Amino acid sequence: MIHHPLASANPAVLRILDANFDRAREGVRIIEEWCRFGLNHTEFAAECKAIRQELGRWQSPEIRAFRDTPGDPGTELSHPQEETRASVTQVLTANFCRTQEALRVLEEYAKIENAEMAIACKHLRYRVYTLETNLSGHQRFQKLQKAQLYLVTSEVEDLFGTVEAALQGGLPLVQYREKNADDLTRLHRAKKLREICHQYDALFIVNDRIDIALAADADGVHLGQEDLPVAIARNILGAHRIVGRSTTNPEEMERSLAEGADYIGVGPVHETPTKAGKAASGLEYVRYAAERSTIPWFAIGGINTDNIQEVLNAGATRVSVVRALMQAPNPTLTAQFFQAQLTRSHPHS
């Protein structure tokens, strides 16, 4: 332990420092455990450990000596949101917030006692911000690799209820697509859908609108062939969000791969009212994608519970659906059916 001389040794300030060193170290340790055992990610786990050790070096015996847990009125305080977590994502989000808040408190109160400590805590806070961004991006792309079923929304009476019912059936990926609403309505619905998706640890993508995706804190955006280039979308959204692209033929697929899309849609396999007037690309394009695509791809276009098997037989390992889920009498059971078919045909995809 390195000794760091303190200026005033104000008991209240030292209690604040001690409590927030504990809070920050605990928060980082919770994040570290997921990086180590959940993600098996050596670099993230090592960064967490380094941050914890740096905090430990500053939490001197002189600071610890002012700890008074029995006399702390805050130990009895709680909030219903702190008593349950619906997912690992919520655990990580809560503990990143906890750590960042603690580091900000440390930075401000350390200015009274030790300017060097304040600067160190400021730098640690920025490292935690960077870790959160990198970890979020890593988890997004990991979820994308594992996802086999992708829902693209359509306009229905109960949008939120329908999507949540499908998520309850194990749906891992949702794209919000709506062409006729005004921007404020789109933003409101996108934020609500993102909240619902994240409750179920599912990815949330916005169709076409990069600005709505960014404002709603979506996991990414899906672009058509006539939308902005992938590189521009990535510059706007950042490197840690997903950018997908629709393709209808081998030339568009090859161009999207060269652009650096994270995934592509392959279709329409069958003619569909979602893409009125667009000729079906058929199963031949599915077979082509199965042989040539080097990134995740989702067969899309008129796929339903009756014809999914022929799409899987053509080589698809992932499918995207619209009406088959949005208009299903029971979206939960339908999502479970699709998931079962996909897993049975391609268990290791």
The separation between the first and the last C-alpha atoms of the chain, rounded to the nearest angstrom, is 49
- Tokens found for residue 91: 């655990």
Active-site entry in 60, 246, 281, 320 = 246
Active-site entry in 98, 275, 318, 320 = 275
User: Is 245 marked active-site?
Assistant: no
Instruction: Please tell me the number of Cα atoms within 13 Å of 299 on its side-chain side.
Output: 31
Please report which helix (H) or strand (E) contains residue 177, including its range. none
User: Is 179 marked active-site?
Assistant: no
Q: How many CB atoms lie within 10 A of CB 313?
A: 12
Active-site entry in 23, 98, 177, 234 = 177
Distance between CA atoms of residues 100 and 243, nearest Å: 28
Find out whether 265 and 303 touch, Cβ atoms under 8 Å: no
Find out whether 174 and 167 touch, Cβ atoms under 8 Å: yes
Distance between CA atoms of residues 181 and 173, nearest Å: 22
- Tokens found for residue 232: 């521009």
Phi, psi (rounded to 5 degrees) for 104: -65, -40
Phi, psi (rounded to 5 degrees) for 150: -130, 120
DSSP 226: T
Distance between CA atoms of residues 203 and 152, nearest Å: 12
User: Is 177 marked active-site?
Assistant: yes
| Residues in the chain, total | 349
Active site residues: 177, 246, 275
